[in-house]
């Protein structure tokens, strides 16, 4: 395979219809050979960003640099990238090997040469036994492998993936994300993967980029982002955090505390409120999740908070909806959020 390329986006914007700003002057650098996930809710700009890197959308403003070369105005075929689409877009009348070899046919390679190369890439994704089957004869996971092989056959420096796991069932999704991570490490090329799944991004990425309303809210390693979310949006979008207003409800001083770092105790002080490390509330809901129990609370200031209580501790002192409790946390586990 070719060597990997780094990617740099410099003040990149995308406008639709002249005034709808899908991507708003973002700056981002993705190191060569890394696995980057762009994540966020629908409409946040992540897919538009991916498509601009691919050359399938024009950049309204700014520059895209791949491997030190400004590719902003280049055609997709001139960028050293390959795109794996969400729908897979396989030709239904062609076998798996012919789907993979198709772009080599367009480039004028002989039938022998292109089928040899296609067979090599199908072997890489463990699809050799299914090379002569058509897409309708393949499972969803097998179709995904063919689509991946087709994207890799031209030896790209960068592979772009648009929600590649969204069509798979949950069990297969977990299996295939492990495969994607392994292939990325084995190939050593740069992967840029769009997803709306926090779990997927945490499991796959070296660099996770959280987007909101066309802007980058935070970029960093999954560990850093999860443990030190920069904004309330990031803390809430990633899940597993309480956003607690420590001054009685004002929007200017929230902190994030992981739901597995808080402690619950039955009972509440006579005056419900804040003392800097605890808050009184009422149990709203209880959800058994196997290794832990998720307890949801209603707290002052119309706050909904959660606590993950390990299974043994919860059943040693079970709670009931409507019961008064106190949720407490260590100051070292509270991370102040940007206003």
pLDDT above 60 for 144: yes
Quote the DSSP letter at residue 109: -
What are the pLDDT digits (tens) for 18-34? 788 999 999 999 999 99
pLDDT at 276: 57
| Between 192 and 88, the higher pLDDT residue | 192
List, by residue range, all CATH 3.40.50.300 domains of the chain.
Answer: 7-227
* Digit-coded pLDDT (tens) for 295-327: 999 998 889 999 999 999 999 999 999 999 999
Q: Decide: 127 and 152 in contact? Cβ < 8 Å.
A: no
Q: Does the domain at residues 242-336 carry the CATH identifier 2.60.40.3080?
A: no
pLDDT at 272 over 80: no
Q: Of the candidates 258, 259, 267, 279, which has an alpha carbon nearest to the alpha carbon of residue 319?
A: 267
The overall pTM is greater than 0.85: yes
Each residue's pLDDT tens digit, 52-102: 999 999 999 999 999 999 999 999 989 999 998 877 788 999 999 999 999
CATH topology of domain 7-227: Rossmann fold (3.40.50)
CATH 2.40.50.100: which residues of the chain?
242-336
Strands (E), 221-336: 241-245, 254-258, 263-266, 278-288, 292-299, 303-310, 324-328, 334-336
* CA distance to 1, 35, 119, 137, 235, per residue, from 181 (Å): 16, 8, 22, 26, 25
CA distance 334 to 160: 36
Q: Under 8 Å CB-to-CB from 303, ≥6 apart: which residues? A: 243, 244, 245, 249, 279, 281
């Amino acid at each position: 395979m070719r060597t990997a390329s780094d990617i740099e986006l410099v003040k990149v914007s995308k406008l639709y219809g002249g005034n709808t700003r899908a991507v708003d002057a973002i700056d981002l650098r993705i190191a060569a050979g890394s696995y980057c996930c762009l994540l966020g809710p629908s409409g946040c700009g992540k897919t538009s960003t991916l498509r601009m890197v691919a050359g399938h959308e024009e950049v309204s403003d700014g520059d895209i640099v791949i491997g030190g070369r400004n590719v902003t105005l280049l055609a997709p075929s001139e960028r050293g990238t390959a795109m794996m689409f969400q729908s897979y877009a396989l030709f239904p009348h062609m076998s798996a090997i012919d789907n993979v070899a198709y772009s080599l046919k367009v480039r004028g390679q002989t039938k022998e040469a292109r089928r040899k190369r296609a067979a090599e890439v199908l072997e890489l994704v463990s699809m050799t036994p299914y090379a002569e089957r058509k897409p309708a004869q393949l499972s969803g996971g097998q179709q995904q492998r063919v689509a991946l092989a087709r994207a890799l056959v031209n030896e790209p420096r960068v592979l772009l993936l648009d929600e590649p796991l969204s069509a798979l069932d949950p069990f297969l999704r977990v299996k295939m994300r492990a495969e994607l991570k392994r292939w990325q490490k084995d190939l050593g090329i740069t992967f840029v993967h769009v997803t709306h799944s926090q779990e997927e991004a945490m499991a796959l990425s070296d660099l996770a980029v959280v987007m909101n309303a066309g802007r980058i809210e935070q970029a960093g390693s999954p560990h850093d982002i999860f443990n030190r979310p920069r904004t309330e949006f990031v803390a809430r979008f990633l899940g597993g955090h309480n956003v607690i207003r420590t001054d009685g409800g004002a929007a200017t001083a929230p902190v994030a505390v992981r739901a597995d770092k808080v402690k619950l105790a039955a009972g509440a002080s006579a005056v419900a409120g804040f003392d800097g490390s605890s808050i009184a509330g009422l149990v709203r809901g209880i959800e058994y999740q196997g290794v832990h129990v998720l307890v949801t609370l209603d707290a002052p200031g119309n706050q909904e908070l959660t606590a993950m209580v390990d299974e043994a501790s919860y059943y040693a002192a079970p709670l009931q909806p409507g019961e008064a409790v106190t949720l407490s946390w260590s100051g070292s586990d509270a991370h102040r959020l940007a206003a």
